[in-house]
Structure 1
Amino acid sequence: MPKKFLKILSKEDALREVLSFCQPIGVETIPVREGAGRVTAEPVFAERSNPPFLCSAVDGYAVSFEKTVTADVRSPILIPYDDCQRINTGERLRQGFDAVFMIEDVEERQEGIIVRRALSLWENVRMLGEDVIEGELLLPPNHQITPFDLGLLLAGGVKYVRVKKRPRALFVPTGKELSDPYDADALAMPEFNSYVALSLLSEWGVLAEKS
């Protein structure tokens, strides 16, 4: 007598039954650089502010904005090199400087730079913690880490992160009529579902293999 499916479960009931056999798989600590695709096991907080200091938002010259208040196109002023700092984007401002001229806005002379406009306080300056503040929540628990998240974590001084261990799966294809597509027997029915399943499981972060 042929076998029959005597009981049909709803999708929700089937999922509930499968999950009833599942156990927590634990957590592990990994370097942030290896975290893409992994799932956070706990909240992740910034361990430092970024930028960690006052830094330039442009390439140019850092100055004291007060030394530029009289500068305009008709009355340019000369700022000696001792009173300014040649600076690159992201570089720390030295003490006493609080604004930055873009390199395109200055004329470099042997004795200093010529400027033709005034700067405002903190113009072209990135402030301490502008991107991330120490102690700020960066990622919640149960969050799948993206490549962009890696940059956020590293900017916040996080070098290691607690993540859930990756689940493992073994795919066992059955059926005497089936043959692996890479086998020599071209007349057999190719078994390809396992390769589809393995690829899907891999996308979901599962360590999957075929029997």
Structure 2
Amino acid sequence: MKFFNVKTVDETMAVIEEQFAPIHEPVRISILEAVGRILAEDVFSREQVPPFARSTVDGYAVQAKTTYGASESLPAFLDITGNIHMGKRAELPLVEGQAQYMPTGGMLPEGADSVVMIEHVEEVGDLLNVYRQVAPGENVIRAGDDVRVGDRVLARGSRLRPQDVGVLAAIGVTEIAVYPIPVVGILSTGDEIVPPDKAELSPGEIRDINSIMIGARLAQLGAKAVYGGIVRDEYEELLTRAKALFEQVDLLLLSGGSSVGTRDFTVQVLEALGEPGVLVHGVATKPGKPTIIGKSQGKPVVGLPGHPVSALIMFDLLVVSILRRLQGESNEVPDKRSRARISRNVPSAAGRSDYIRVRLEERGDELWAVPVFGKSGLVTTMVESDGIVEIAANKEGVVEGEQVKVMLFGSSY
């Protein structure tokens, strides 16, 4: 089989960005279910946080100027005029020369501009000895210091984290619009592939690794996997099963059947599912060149290589990007790769992107990436690895000690 439309990784990423977009209308959900989901709207605050000036310590509300010059040897003396209780309004205004006790989080009384910590004072009846001066605003969060009315607290396309849900709660937003979770169908192909639960293998058979491994990765990413089972290398059967699964999902993955061989039907099936068909027919990478990306009736269809290492690497490299597009995630995703030094020279052929499996080791104060070599059919090399390092197509390798970026296995989007 020839690869008719081989593209570089960058070209493939450009195709993904151009061709795929959210395919469902947003839905509204509770913030209790929102972690990991993609926000479908900008969120603006209708109130300020905190709504009142509050103390960050246990201590006494004061006017800072009344403490200037206070020290252990020469304290300032203030009149204690009340206690402020948690969750209650500070009713009594504070004037110069006075102090009021308040707990952490308590509401600052009118007239106070700072709080002196309880460790730096001493009560003597109704008199407060202050042994340390404070500055205006010290130990205080002012009203609106965190969020002001009209602030955009979260942007459309953000993947929601626990702290993001926290700020929504802080401004009183309990329901938000998000894009639906993508449903991904997985179909394994090959006459030699049998279910993992088969007790005894016949000669020439091998248990299905890819659908289980890719399904687990989808679960880790918050997507829903639909397993279509195993299909023999027979065109009509593959087409029938692929069509049935295609109707149920937002993204169809065909594992195997995309490598060079006389019984390759992935391209034919993809074309039969609908236009425009094949977009990328081979990616200039090692491993993973026999990867096919297409689009049928607006849905992405991806043919992953049969070898487990190639399948998982190309899934993380390309399919994750497609999933981002389907969920409306912002293009401004920070680079989360870890930095390390490569432990040995690794040659590479110019013109293709090489992906080297590595395990990470701490050596002194530095992190080192140690290559784990092995053929792409050896799944244990992935077990022994922490991630992969890209050698870009314009390089002819990396040299020992060179700093590289490691994409960790199992990391989030």
Normalising by structure 1, we get a TM-score of 0.81
Aligned runs of 1:37-186 on 2, under 5 Å? 37-69=36-68, 71-82=70-81, 83-186=98-201
CA shift for structure 1 position 158: 2.5
Q: Does 1:35 align with 2:19?
A: no
Partner of 2:311: none
Distance 1:57 1:15 in 2: 49
1:10 aligned partner, one-letter code: K
Distance 1:149 1:96 in 2: 34
Deviates more, 1:72-81 or 1:37-46: 72-81
Partner secondary structure for residue 96 of structure 1: coil
2:24 aligned partner, one-letter code: I
1:68 aligned partner, one-letter code: T
Task: Verify the 8 A CA contact 2:39 2:158 in the aligned structure 1.
Answer: yes
1:39 aligned partner, one-letter code: I
Partner secondary structure for residue 188 of structure 2: coil
Partner secondary structure for residue 173 of structure 1: strand
CA shift for structure 1 position 186: 4.8
Q: Does 1:7 align with 2:24?
A: no
CA shift for structure 1 position 197: 1.3
Partner of 1:191: 208
Task: Verify the 8 A CA contact 1:62 1:98 in the aligned structure 2.
Answer: yes
Partner of 2:385: none
Deviates more, 1:42-51 or 1:78-87: 78-87
2:138 aligned partner, one-letter code: E
For structure 1, which runs of at least 5 residues remain unmatched after alignment? none
Deviates more, 1:172-181 or 1:187-196: 172-181
Task: Identify the structure with the greater strand proportion.
Answer: 2
CA shift for structure 1 position 23: 6.5
Query: CA, structure 1 residues 21+43, in 2 after alignment: closer, same or farther (shift >3 Å)?
Result: closer
CA shift for structure 1 position 113: 2.4
Task: Verify the 8 A CA contact 1:134 1:156 in the aligned structure 2.
Answer: no
- Count, aligned residues: 208
Task: Verify the 8 A CA contact 2:22 2:179 in the aligned structure 1.
Answer: no
2:23 aligned partner, one-letter code: P
Task: Verify the 8 A CA contact 2:116 2:139 in the aligned structure 1.
Answer: yes
Normalising by structure 2, we get a TM-score of 0.45
CA shift for structure 1 position 5: 4.7
Partner secondary structure for residue 151 of structure 1: helix
Query: CA, structure 1 residues 81+175, in 2 after alignment: closer, same or farther (shift >3 Å)?
Result: same
Query: CA, structure 1 residues 191+100, in 2 after alignment: closer, same or farther (shift >3 Å)?
Result: same
Distance 1:101 1:134 in 2: 29
Partner secondary structure for residue 189 of structure 2: coil
Task: Verify the 8 A CA contact 2:219 2:225 in the aligned structure 1.
Answer: yes
Partner secondary structure for residue 61 of structure 2: strand
Task: Verify the 8 A CA contact 1:54 1:125 in the aligned structure 2.
Answer: yes
Identity %: 31
Task: Verify the 8 A CA contact 1:54 1:128 in the aligned structure 2.
Answer: yes
Deviates more, 1:143-152 or 1:37-46: 143-152
Distance 2:198 2:128 in 1: 75
Query: CA, structure 1 residues 15+191, in 2 after alignment: closer, same or farther (shift >3 Å)?
Result: farther
CA shift for structure 1 position 35: 1.5
Task: Verify the 8 A CA contact 1:25 1:167 in the aligned structure 2.
Answer: no
1:7 aligned partner, one-letter code: F
Distance 2:63 2:74 in 1: 18
CA shift for structure 1 position 156: 3.2
Task: Verify the 8 A CA contact 2:80 2:126 in the aligned structure 1.
Answer: yes
Distance 2:213 2:73 in 1: 72
CA shift for structure 1 position 105: 0.7
Distance 1:21 1:132 in 2: 35
Distance 2:149 2:137 in 1: 22
Partner secondary structure for residue 108 of structure 1: strand
2:143 aligned partner, one-letter code: L
Partner secondary structure for residue 84 of structure 1: strand
Deviations 1:57-87 (A, max 9, x none): 2221112335434644443243333143322
Deviates more, 1:81-90 or 1:190-199: 81-90
CA shift for structure 1 position 164: 0.7
